[in-house]
Amino acid sequence: MALIVAQDRGGPIVDERPGDPGRTHAERLPSDAVALLAAHGLTPADVDLFAVASGPGLFTGLRVGIAAMQGFALATGKPMAGVSALDALGQLASRDCAPRTRVAAWMDAHRRDVFTALFEVGTGPLFSGERLIEREGATVGDPGDTLERWKLMGGEPAVFAGDGARRYQDAIAQRFPGAIVAPETPLAGAIALIALERARRGEVVGPAGIQPLYVRRPDAELAREHAVADRAVDVGRRD
């Protein structure tokens, strides 16, 4: 979570706190957000814009995080902005990159998969909509398959960012030996700064306008489909 105070085009990060990995989103939210504000003498009513990572991510954590921010926005009547965590990773990875540099965002999706997106650095300022040009949108898949696909596309990524990149950095080094795997950094501040830029362009919505970016279908939905398919096979065998 991050707290930002903005005046004109300035948007300094006043406070940014990582979540406790030992506690679930449901255990931490919304109390951690209230505590962050209280530490600076503020309440949710003092907030002008609520930003949230809209995905991708695991189904339950994503839903809890979005629902918590929607609750704040609904209670205070304030607008919201949903920001892809992959976009935030791409923005951070592009910080010291020249235009036309390719940067890759990788998030660990478990099951030996990664959520990924590929960007090219544009000429806009950091965290603006013109900063990144999307070369491949959010997707999920096997790390090796993703790297091979990007190899065939041409245009070698110079920087990889995210916990997925750290986990599979050996595979990245094999296919793109010149690429840098950036150190992991908190995303909350980047998400807030991207949201602030969007607010300046009028790109905000009400609580109901936030749509989760799942990329991969929820486990429960897949399990139902497998169960239905298994029952159909059993019926076929009996017939």
- List pLDDT tens digits, range 139-170: 999 999 999 999 999 999 999 999 999 999 99
Q: Indicate if the pLDDT at residue 222 is higher than 50.
A: no
Using DSSP's 3-state secondary structure scheme, residue 234 falls into: helix
In terms of pLDDT, which residue wins out, 23 or 126? 126
Average pLDDT of 187-211? Answer: 94
CATH number of 86-181: 3.30.420.40
Contacts 24+ apart (CB under 8 A), 167-173: 167/108, 167/114, 168/106, 168/114, 168/143, 171/143, 171/144, 171/147, 172/143, 172/147
- 115 close to 107: Cβ distance less than 8 angstroms: yes
Hey, where are the domains in the chain?
2-85+187-219, 86-181
Q: Return d(Cα 184, Cα 91) in angstroms, integer.
A: 13
**Mean pLDDT, the chain, as a whole number?**
89
| Dihedrals phi, psi of 83, to nearest 5 degrees | -130, 130
Of the listed ranges 7-16, 32-41, 96-105, the least confidently predicted one is: 7-16
- Are domains 2-85+187-219 and 86-181 of this chain identical in fold? yes
DSSP state, residue 76: H
| Dihedrals phi, psi of 227, to nearest 5 degrees | -65, -40
Structure tokens at 30: 């919304």
Q: Mind listing the pLDDT tens digit for each residue in 90-142?
A: 999 999 999 999 999 999 999 999 999 999 999 999 999 999 999 999 999 99
pTM here? 0.88
CATH number of 2-85+187-219: 3.30.420.40
Query: Helix %, strand %, coil % for the chain, to 5?
Result: 40, 25, 35
Q: Indicate if the pLDDT at residue 17 is higher than 70.
A: yes
